[in-house]
Amino acid sequence: ASAPEIRNLWNNRSNMPNISSRTTLGDLTEAYFDSVRTNAGRK
């Protein structure tokens, strides 16, 4: 995922009232590191 995609992910989840900030941050962090690992594997 690119930086804009990560920002969109954050914005979309922040707009979901049924997801707590803690879960949102955790999911965002997980998605970010997944993308970092994926990108590192491609190089």
The pLDDT of residue 42 is 74
Contact of 24 with 17, CB cutoff 8 Å: no
Sign of the four-CA dihedral 10, 15, 18, 20: positive
Structure tokens belonging to residue 9? 């992910």
The pLDDT of residue 12 is 72
Structure tokens belonging to residue 28? 């965002």
For the chain, residues with pLDDT lower than 70 are 1, 13-23, 43
